[in-house]
Structure 1
Amino acid sequence: MGRGYTIFDTALGRCGIAWSDAGLTGIQLPEAREIETRRRLFRQFPEAREQRPCSNTELAIKGITAMLRGQAVDFSDVALDLTGVTPFNQRVYEAIRAIPRGETRSADELAAELHVPGALNSIAQALTKNAWVLIVPCHRVREVGNGLDSSSPNSGIISKRRLLSLEGARPHAGLTLFDAFLAADRRQAS
């Protein structure tokens, strides 16, 4: 079959997905226009040709469309093509896939779970290289300052906050400067 891609409809717009014989190679959530979604997918996977999805890809598409309607989805049976992904990034992605729907972890918590304190920069780099948005739900990882209004890699126009709200999560808001002073005053008063 080689390398393929397809564009498909979801409740939030037209998404793209690419695959190889080994598994999914990437997902692109909707951009403002379908042509932009196609361009971004083609830039990442220029060797892929538009074709009918295989069964693994069909399973992923079914899950993605359900997830973007706010339904709970289990992607554990979806095979990913991890060719070229470093062992460290594979560990990060595995840990992220284990974060339950509707929950978040800070990058610090993820580093502690992986037993690599101080590896925040490496974790951040792994997040930016995540080609499997939703299946490797990097939107569940809060960055420094929480970054919930930023876009996830390959998430097109959909913010992390939007993805979390679809999961029913209550994202942790970052402390404002006022909140930090208020908390410090309360600690001093007690």
Structure 2
Amino acid sequence: MTVQYFALFDTAIGICGIEWGPRGINGVQLPMGSREKTLARIRQRHGGVNDDSSGELVEASPPAAVQYAIDGIVELLSGQPNDLSDIALDLDGVPAFNRGVYDIARSIPPGKTVTYGDIARQLGGVELSRDVGQALGRNPCPIVVPCHRVLAAGNKPGGFSARGGVETKLKMLAIEGAAVNHTPSLFD
């Protein structure tokens, strides 16, 4: 049985979570509105109720490398330009295409943005834009893999799967000082 560890921590946007295993950090949870909801989401993502394939989930004090990541996330979410690119992730089991998307996203500096199409072109063609969006929607380590810095065509926010949706994305981009073309519509 594999043991998966996690810790919760405070940030400027709420309580986040981080998960790690024997090979490193493999999950980051953005705030869900309360400590209990963030914890419930970590448990849900980990496998829910007694899924033997998921192993054991244990809250623990973070080792040095994980604490380093937590400190970087807290800095970034408080407005300090930490790009988090030196945080080692364990993305074993993540499809190769998604890892390629995440590698490109991790190269986007704080305060800057690219579009889904920009990443798709780097991976072979703009027709992969939807696949890029789907990969980012499945990002296990948001903020460390800065999917919030990836926008739709015309530098519009596009979607965001974290709690709060586009508003959370816009808040994170504002903290970083990024310019986004967002004109609210009747459907926002």
TM-score, normalization by structure 1: 0.83
Q: Which amino acid aligns with 1:38?
A: L
Q: Deviations over 1:100-135 (max 9, x none)?
A: 211111111111122233012211110111011111
Tell me by how many angstroms 1:99 deviates: 1.1
Distance 1:50 1:159 in 2: 26
Query: 1:156 and 2:156 equivalent?
Result: no
Tell me by how many angstroms 1:164 deviates: 0.4
* Higher Cα radius of gyration: 1
Q: Which amino acid aligns with 1:20?
A: G
Q: Which residue of 2 aligns with 1:32?
A: 33
Question: Structure 2 vs 1, CA of residues 56 and 2 (structure 1 numbering), >3 Å: closer, same or farther?
Answer: farther
Q: Which residue of 1 aligns with 2:51?
A: none
Q: Which amino acid aligns with 1:136?
A: V
Choose which of 88, 94, 111 in structure 2 pairs with 1:85.
Answer: 94
Q: Which amino acid aligns with 2:130?
A: N
Equivalences for 1:40-189 in 2 at 5 Å?
A: 40-46=41-47, 47-143=56-152, 148=157, 150=159, 152-153=160-161, 155-157=162-164, 159-173=168-182
Distance 2:99 2:29 in 1: 19
Unaligned 5+ segments in structure 1 are 177-190
Distance 2:57 2:156 in 1: 32
Aligned residues: 174
Query: Matched residue of 2:83: which SS?
Result: coil
TM-score, normalization by structure 2: 0.84
Q: Which amino acid aligns with 2:33?
A: A
